[in-house]
Structure 1
Amino acid sequence: MATIVFQIAGWQSILLCLLFAVIYVASLYVWAGSQRETRDHPTTIKRRIMSVCFVTLFTPPLLWCFSTYREDSAEAHSLFEWLGIRVSGFFQALVLPLALTMILFLGPLTLHYMDGVFKLYLEPRYWTSSLKNYQWIRNHIVAPFSEEFIFRSCMLPLLVPIYGFGWSILICPLFFGVAHLHHMIEKVTHLKMDVDSALKQSLFQMGYTTVFGFYTAFIFLRTGHVIAPIMVHAFCNHMGFPAFNEVMAYQDKSLRQRLMFSFGLGLILWIFLLYPMTSPFLYSNDIYNS
């Protein structure tokens, strides 16, 4: 398979990333019905799934158009390798970053255990009903795959050769965070929220999705596998933003302290394990080896 490199100007890489983001968000609004129906309406979800699937197929050929064929360079790799689609180290990428993220969510997972949510996961009915639920499919399968593929897999090959590992992690998620501002349209038009409140909520969402983007960009570059951030994204979509207020709702002081300890312990363990569990060596990563 032909090996390629990306040798374009910095402004070109930024404009291409912006183009990818605009195409992705615009594809959600090409259907006339989506203007009348909420984003959670089954018809809207099915149409948007079709749109993002098309964008996901359309973007790699567009990315390839800005590559340069290079056969005798250690920095050259196949398009699939640049996109994080490869066999070597796949199982590790499937499991280890997800396990690392579960450690970070030790506190919320402890809450799930105490609330009896874990028992639900053992029920076959939960999984069969989930796979028939369009919102569940969107949140756990389509959104993680399409967003990580477009906003990480297709953007980072353009940014890393120019800006390096660190700056690319900072730049790439900005497109991801800003892309979530379109939810403000839903809040104002369908939920009848006032513009000020909708803007505040949307800016908060933009903030934490940008921070999340830093993390998944780091995961992608360290592992060299797109499946790694996809699994992390699906898990975080399932867990949602940590419910710190739920901890304070418990009346038992000792129980609250144990829960707070689990939140802190998860964060400390995650910090210590972040680099060892994402070592490029574990994933045979010589594409983005930093």
Structure 2
Amino acid sequence: DMLILNDRSNVSVMLEPEHGPAMQVEHTRTRCWVCVLSCLLLACLYVGSLYVWRSSLHRDHPSLIKRRCASVLLVSALSPAVVKAWIRILLLQNDASVWELMGVRLEGLVPAAVLPLLLTMVFYLGPLVHSAMDNPAGFTGEVQELISPDVRSWMLCVGDAVWLRNQVVAPVTEELVFRGAMLPMLVPCTGPTAAIFMAPLFFGVAHLHHIMEQRRLNQDSLGYSVTLFFLYTTVFGAFTSFIFMRTGHVVGPVLCHSFCNSQGLPDIRSALRHPQRSALLFSYLTGLLVFLVLLFTLTDPFFYGAIPVCSLAAPAASACY
């Protein structure tokens, strides 16, 4: 009997190196495919929902905006169900709720709303100074508008479909889907650092549909469209993904997204032609340098408590700590 047991133990030891790692690699590969396909499904649902409504209207027509906003709001509402199904498929054991994994939580909410937005405003120091210089009321008038905006102007904005889409609906739905839902699904496969750079690819590709619309209206060249709607959105997506992974909140990416939509791309060419070019270029450079200095300080997880999405990653996940 002892000989038989020894033989069986030897067989098991011999078989483990051959089949154990192979099965683990296959399991990891399958898990990664599930993660990537789940993200692709969400991206297709988001973009596809925009084209459910067949229309020849311009994308800024109020009627089309309302229909598309309804579509993306529905997809965003369904995104937690997709994350929940993904958890069940992979049989993941996690104490955090789906909403906590997606960055919807109370712990650290105030700093998560304030500090990333402040960081983004620092980056836009140059454009903000540029706007203040061109304001007829000067820098004081620009600050006064920010601190105590005209109520009538706000009412006009709220009633403007384009403003609501750009400042409210797009930031909320895109960040909830492309950051809140996709990053938790990518982290177990790629790790947090790689997920920061992989998730924006879905975000950038999801914006390429604007090329068709602009080409249809002959507004821009193809090269300019690709640069604007893929490269810029991908870089911006990497930044908001970094914010999400460092804070564990989706509110920061939403507010940063809304702010960037209000400012647009920094107009370096206009700054170079400005009468006060030297001062403007100095403010642009200062904003960039201070942004880089504060990037890790203002996103230190110390301000935000335990980050639920990091529980899906390996213990040595650098982007989470």
TM over 0.5: yes
Deviations 1:131-178 (A, max 9, x none): 110000000000000000000000001111221111001110000001
Does the aligned pair in 1 maintain the 2:210–2:229 contact within 8 Å?
A: no
Name the structure 1 match of 2:297. 276
Name the structure 2 match of 1:113. 132
Structure 1 runs of 4+ aligned residues shifted over 6 Å read none
2-structure distance, mates of 1:271, 1:257? 21
1-structure distance, mates of 2:291, 2:256? 14
Name the structure 2 match of 1:264. 285
1-structure distance, mates of 2:75, 2:307? 28
When the two structures are superposed, what TM-score results if normalisation uses the length of structure 1? 0.89
Identical-pair percentage: 41
Name the structure 1 match of 2:86. 66
When the two structures are superposed, what TM-score results if normalisation uses the length of structure 2? 0.81
Does the aligned pair in 1 maintain the 2:116–2:299 contact within 8 Å?
A: yes
**Aligned positions of 1:170-181 closer than 5 A:** 170-181=197-208
SS of residue in 2 equivalent to 1:87: coil
Name the structure 1 match of 2:264. 240
**Aligned positions of 1:205-244 closer than 5 A:** 205-244=229-268
Aligned alpha-carbon RMSD (Å): 2.1
Name the structure 2 match of 1:97. 116
Query: Alpha-carbon deviation of 1:120?
Result: 4.9
Does the aligned pair in 1 maintain the 2:203–2:237 contact within 8 Å?
A: yes
**Aligned positions of 1:184-195 closer than 5 A:** 184-189=211-216, 191-193=217-219
Does the aligned pair in 2 maintain the 1:181–1:203 contact within 8 Å?
A: no
Q: Which amino acid in 1 is paired with 2:154?
A: W
Gaps of 5+ in 1: 1-6
Judging by fraction of residues, say which structure has more helix.
Answer: 2
Q: Number of aligned pairs?
A: 275
**Aligned positions of 1:39-78 closer than 5 A:** 39-68=59-88, 76-78=95-97
Name the structure 2 match of 1:137. 164
The alignment status of 1:26 with 2:48, answered yes or no, reads yes
Gaps of 5+ in 2: 1-27, 136-140, 311-319
Q: Which amino acid in 2 is paired with 1:27?
A: S
After superposition, the Cα gap between the structure-2 partners of 1:19 and 1:110, relative to the gap in structure 1 and judged at 3 Å, is: same
2-structure distance, mates of 1:57, 1:148? 12
Deviations 1:9-33 (A, max 9, x none): 1111111111110110000000122
